[in-house]
A and B are shown apart, each in its own frame.
Chain A
């Protein structure tokens, strides 16, 4: 009996009592500098009572504006992920396979002045384990292995491999608080240049999700202290780091309005010096109106400020207004200050993007959209672009066997 016949006989038995979900997203667009960019993404999940198999694929052609030079400009990602549950334990083998299609474009800078290289892709197998103990203890472990297909600029094989092992224990205490302790080790090695570096991180953390908050208010917060054992690209010790986060969401602050705020602060412990390394504040308002229409209308206004070695400022507005049947009118605007890599443009760039669009939904199965944007960015001079983007999202639903 050949293998195809065997598979045809076995697969229906394995699939019995299972269900298949599939999805497809496609987005394309272009402007005068990048006419052919696009993303096609699709996948499917076959699931049974105690297992699921997810296969996802993505094909990307990036823009080529050179505003921020793309190191990868045409590539695909395939991710095969299998999860099987036995009691309170989940075993999760996974394989990610990336292929770069533009052979000489993905040019990488090798660490430790190792020269340049051309990447052709890589595969990354992994194995995860999650299990629960008594008294709300959970253990998560995962190992990942990288093998890059990359060629040194002199034409020889790089032999670049990597390995990461990640483990974490969490205790969900009865006081609306979770305590975590974990460790990560990561190793990278390049045979061609003799580069080999390992760093380790040890974390302890506490997460708060208090109950008894006022009506429709949700608060989460957490503090994590990480001790690093390793060196950065300048061979300096990586300092220890304390990260504190708080997130607050309040529904119905005004009728049909949800408000959200998050704040993050990061401190570095570098020898005897303690310094505030990064701070970020984000706030947003979501207003839902015409809720009885086939597609609820929404307006989202948000802003974010960050400060670290660089600063960024972002303000955004997005609206969807239902018009007729599945048709909605979209409008979006964004203003941003961010650092820029463009030579001669100064350390920061200001960009303003705005434009209208249309969206049509066929129930929950199909969504088609298109947006026209105008972008104005100050680089070496003021640059203006018109850009058109469109997309199709398809979710055919669940098929049960």
Chain B
């Protein structure tokens, strides 16, 4: 059983992910950007392009202030790791 799980589990995660991606109504009126802290390197390139002072590097991760963010997506375009979306 575990032998099958070794190969099935990654496939299940990818398939479920693809199904949810396809089912997502995007683009939607998202209310906040998300920072994937596993991917974020804390390089600060998002801070360099944010004209609203909405992003801080705290403990090595980008943190976006939802009250200051204006959804200009400059940080999304700039992030070298694709960690903001």
What distance in Å separates the Cβ of A234 from its nearest Cβ neighbour in chain B?
9
The answer on a CB contact under 8 Å between B32 and A241 is: yes
Count residues of chain B with CB under 8 A from any CB of chain A: 54
B76 to chain A, nearest CB (A): 6
Question: Which residues of chain A have C-beta atoms less than 8 A from B18's C-beta?
Answer: 281
Residue contact A340 to B77, C-beta cutoff 8 Å: yes
- Bound: A232/B54 CA distance, A: 11
Among B31, B33, B50, max chain A CB count under 10 A is at B31
Docked complex Cα distance between A261 and B17 (Å): 10
Are A281 and B14 in touch, CB under 8 angstroms?
yes
B82 touches A304 (CB 8 A): yes
Contact A341 B74 (CB under 8 A): yes
> In the complex the two chains form, is B85's CB within 8 Å of A188's CB?
no
How extensive is the interface on chain A, given as a class?
35 or more
Residues of A within 8 A of B31 (CB): 232, 236, 238-239, 241, 268, 270, 277
A-side contacts of B3, CB under 8 Å? 214
- Chain B, Cβ-Cβ closest to A238: B66
Please measure, in the bound complex, the distance between the C-alpha atom of A231 and the C-alpha atom of B18, giving whole angstroms.
Answer: 33
Residues of chain A from 263 to 282 with CB closer than 8 A to chain B in the complex: 263-266, 268, 270, 275-282
Q: Are B78 and A68 in contact (CB under 8 A)?
A: yes
Q: Which of B32, B69, B72 has the most CB of A within 10 A?
A: B32
Q: In the complex, are the beta carbons of B26 and A238 less than 8 A apart?
A: no
Is there an interface contact between A308 and B27, defined as CB atoms closer than 8 Å?
A: yes
Residues of B within 8 A of A107 (CB): 51
| A contact patch SS | strand
Given A232-B31, A281-B14, A281-B18 in contact, is the A62-B48 Cβ separation under 8 Å?
A: yes
**A261 and B14 contact, CB distance less than 8 A:** yes
Q: Out of B6, B13, B28, B49, which one reaches A261, CB within 8 Å?
A: B13
Q: Give the shortest distance, in Å, between B43 (CB) and chain A (any CB).
A: 9
Q: Are A312 and B9 in contact (CB under 8 A)?
A: no
Per-position contact with A for B26-52: 1 when CB-CB < 8 Å, else 0? Answer: 111111111010110000110111111
Main secondary structure of the interface of B (DSSP, over half): loop
Is A266's CB under 8 angstroms from B13's CB? no
For the complex, give the distance between the alpha carbons of A186 and B85 in Å. 22
Whether A309 pairs with B27 at a CB distance below 8 angstroms is: yes
Which residues of B have CB within 8 Å of A246?
Answer: 13
- A282 to B85 alpha-carbon distance, docked (Å): 13
B14 touches A283 (CB 8 A): yes
In the complex, which of the residues B24, B38, B67, B72 contacts A232, with contact meaning CB atoms closer than 8 Å? B67
Q: Shortest distance in angstroms between B56's beta carbon and chain A's nearest beta carbon?
A: 8
Please tell me if A71 contacts chain B, counting CB pairs below 8 Å: yes
CA distance A279 to B13 in the complex (A): 13
**Least CB distance, B29 to chain A, in whole angstroms:** 6
A248 within 8 A of B: yes
Q: Name the B residues within 8 Å of A340 (CB-CB).
A: 77
Does A89 lie at the interface of the complex (its beta carbon under 8 Å from any beta carbon of B)? no
Contacts of B5 in A (CB 8 A): 213-214, 217
* Residues of the B chain whose Cβ atoms lie less than 8 Å from the Cβ of A341: 72-74, 77
Chain A residues 42-87 with CB under 8 Å of chain B are: 60, 62, 68-73, 77
A305 within 8 A of B: yes
Q: Could you tell me if A214 and B2 are in contact, using CB atoms closer than 8 angstroms? A: yes
Q: Given the known A-B contacts A264-B36, A266-B34, A279-B20, are A312 and B66 also in contact in the complex, defined by CB atoms under 8 Å?
A: no
Minimum CB–CB distance for B31 against chain A, Å: 5
A386 to chain B, nearest CB (A): 18
Which residues of B have CB within 8 Å of A295?
none
In the complex, 6 of the A-B residue pairs with CB atoms within 8 angstroms, ordered by the A residue number, are A60-B44, A71-B50, A111-B68, A219-B9, A231-B67, A262-B38
Task: Name B's A-contacting residues (CB within 8 A).
Answer: 2-3, 5-7, 9-10, 13-14, 16-18, 20-21, 23-34, 36, 38-39, 44-45, 47-53, 58, 65-74, 76-78, 82, 85
Residues of A at under 8 Å CB distance from B? 60, 62, 68-73, 77, 107-109, 111, 119, 144, 148, 160, 186, 188, 197, 199, 213-215, 217, 219, 228, 230-233, 236, 238-239, 241, 243, 246-248, 250, 253, 259, 261-266, 268, 270, 275-283, 304-312, 314, 336, 338-341, 349
